[in-house]
Amino acid sequence: MALAVKQGRFGAALMAAVTVFQAGSASAACLTEAQFSAAVRFVAPDLIQAGAGKCAALLPANSYLARNGASLAARYRPGAATAWPDVQTALKGQPDLKMFAAMDETTVRGMLLPMLNEGLTKQKFKAEDCAIADAIAANLDPLPPQNMVALITTFVRLNKGKPAKTPDGKPRPPIICPPVQ
């Protein structure tokens, strides 16, 4: 999902969902590759569900997301549940988000879906954006969830040379920490 639409609306939504762990703060800590992968596993089912809902009116009834979005999200749920311990560790390392690490998974997930829906609602989706997301979801469907997570993590690592900025224009550390040499 990340590579083909990284500059698009779904790519932006995925990155926003995962970088919520950095709270838009210039002082946020980078995530280890394992923590980033856990964050992707944790948000994937909710992001799929929110994206399918956002595109429902823009895609034909026979589109992949219309027919299979709910089952794809359900396939990712077990991985999301097992990701919680690593997500908690990642949250503890983020100065502005430590309070979330003390919450249980159900509470954090209950807060996440409305945030994803709000973020997607702010995006001005076009049928073309949803068609691209639909094609990506259909092409990723045969892959086990762990392979999709690994692909997204790899694509984010490839983007390491581009400086990221917070919403107020300040430099942000890399999302994934550079490997220790």
Q: Please tell me the pTM assigned to this model.
A: 0.75
Domain that holds residue 21: 2-172
What confidence tier does 47 reach under pLDDT thresholds 50, 70, 90? confident
Query: Is the pLDDT assigned to residue 10 strictly greater than 80?
Result: no
Per the DSSP assignment, residues forming a β-bridge with 171 are 165
What is the rounded distance in angstroms from the CA atom of residue 129 to the CA atom of residue 120?
12
Report if residue 180 sits inside a domain: no
What confidence tier does 64 reach under pLDDT thresholds 50, 70, 90? very high
Report if residue 114 sits inside a domain: yes
Report if residue 142 sits inside a domain: yes
- Name the residue with higher pLDDT: 178 or 79: 79
Report if residue 31 sits inside a domain: yes
* Helix spans in 1-144 (H): 2-5, 9-19, 33-55, 64-92, 98-101, 105-122, 127-140
* Residue (of 45, 63, 40) closest to 128 by Cα position: 63
The one-letter amino acid code at 65 reads L
Domains contained in the chain, number: 1
29 burial type by CB count under 10 A (0-12 exposed, 13-18 middle, 19+ buried): middle
Residues 6+ apart with CB under 8 A from 39: 18, 21, 31, 83, 87, 90
State the pLDDT at residue 178.
78
State the pLDDT at residue 118.
72
Report if residue 42 sits inside a domain: yes
Query: Is the pLDDT assigned to residue 108 strictly greater than 60?
Result: yes
Sign of the Cα pseudo-torsion (154, 155, 161, 165, in order): negative
**Tokens matching residue 17:** 């969902």
State the pLDDT at residue 6.
38
